[in-house]
A = this chain, B = another copy of it.
Amino acid sequence: MTDYRRLRVALLGAGAVGSQVAALLRQHADELADRAGARLELVGIAVRDVDAKRDVELPQELFTTDADALIVGSDIVIELMGGIEPARTYLLHAINSGADVVTANKALLATHGPEIFDAADQVGAEVYYEAAAAGAIPIIRPLRDSLAGDRVQRIMGIVNGTTNYILDRMDTEGAEFSDVLADAQRLGYAEADPTADVEGYDAAQKAAILASLAFHTTVPLEAVHREGITAIDASMMDAARHAGYVIKLLAVCERLTEESGESISVRVYPALIDRAHPLASVHGANNAVFVQAEAAGNLMFYGAGAGGVQTASAVLGDVVSAARRHIAGGVGVGESTLANLPIVPVGRVTTRYQITLEVDDQPGVLATVAGILSDGRVSIATVEQTVEQTVEQAVGDAGDSEGGVARLVIGTHKALEQDLSETVDRLAASGVVERVVSVLRVEGN
Interface residues of A (CB under 8 A from B): 2, 20, 24, 28, 31-32, 34-36, 130, 136-138, 141-142, 145-151, 216, 278, 281, 293-304, 307, 309-310, 312-321, 324-325, 328-333, 336, 338-339
How far in angstroms is the closest Cβ of chain B from A229? 24
A320: chain B residues at CB < 8 Å are 145, 148-149
How far in angstroms is the closest Cβ of chain B from A136? 4
How far in angstroms is the closest Cβ of chain B from A141? 5
User: Once the chains bind, are B34 and A338 in contact (CB under 8 Å)?
Assistant: yes
Beyond the given pairs A34-B339, A138-B141, A141-B145, 17 more chain A to chain B contacts, judged by CB atoms under 8 angstroms and listed by A's residue number, are: A28-B149, A28-B151, A31-B151, A31-B339, A35-B148, A138-B138, A142-B142, A145-B317, A145-B321, A149-B313, A149-B318, A150-B313, A296-B310, A299-B302, A301-B301, A328-B332, A330-B330
Q: Which of B130, B294, B330, B338 meets A328, CB within 8 Å?
A: B330
How far in angstroms is the closest Cβ of chain B from A325? 7
A331: chain B residues at CB < 8 Å are 328-329
User: Once the chains bind, are B138 and A142 in contact (CB under 8 Å)?
Assistant: yes
A278: chain B residues at CB < 8 Å are 281, 302
Nearest B-chain residue to A336, judged by Cβ: B35
Given A328-B333, A336-B34, check contact A297 B136 (CB 8 Å): yes
Nearest B-chain residue to A325, judged by Cβ: B330
User: Once the chains bind, are A300 and B297 in contact (CB under 8 Å)?
Assistant: no
Q: Which of B34, B150, B325 meets A216, CB within 8 Å?
A: B34
The 8 closest A-B pairs by CB, nearest first: A149-B316, A330-B330, A138-B146, A329-B330, A296-B313, A148-B320, A295-B313, A138-B142
Nearest B-chain residue to A281, judged by Cβ: B281
- Interface-centre pick from A295, A324, A328, A332 (highest chain B CB count, 10 A): A295
Q: Which of B32, B298, B304, B315 meets A297, CB within 8 Å?
A: B304
Nearest B-chain residue to A2, judged by Cβ: B338
User: Once the chains bind, are A136 and B328 in contact (CB under 8 Å)?
Assistant: no
How far in angstroms is the closest Cβ of chain B from A16? 13
How far in angstroms is the closest Cβ of chain B from A304? 5
Q: Which of B136, B147, B148, B324 meets A296, CB within 8 Å?
A: B136
User: Once the chains bind, are A148 and B329 in contact (CB under 8 Å)?
Assistant: no
User: Once the chains bind, are B138 and A299 in contact (CB under 8 Å)?
Assistant: yes
25 CB < 8 A contacts A-B = A28-B149, A31-B151, A31-B339, A34-B338, A136-B296, A136-B299, A138-B138, A138-B145, A146-B317, A149-B315, A149-B317, A149-B320, A278-B281, A278-B302, A293-B313, A295-B312, A295-B316, A297-B304, A297-B310, A300-B300, A300-B301, A300-B303, A301-B301, A324-B333, A328-B331
A303: chain B residues at CB < 8 Å are 296-300
A297: chain B residues at CB < 8 Å are 136, 303-304, 307, 310
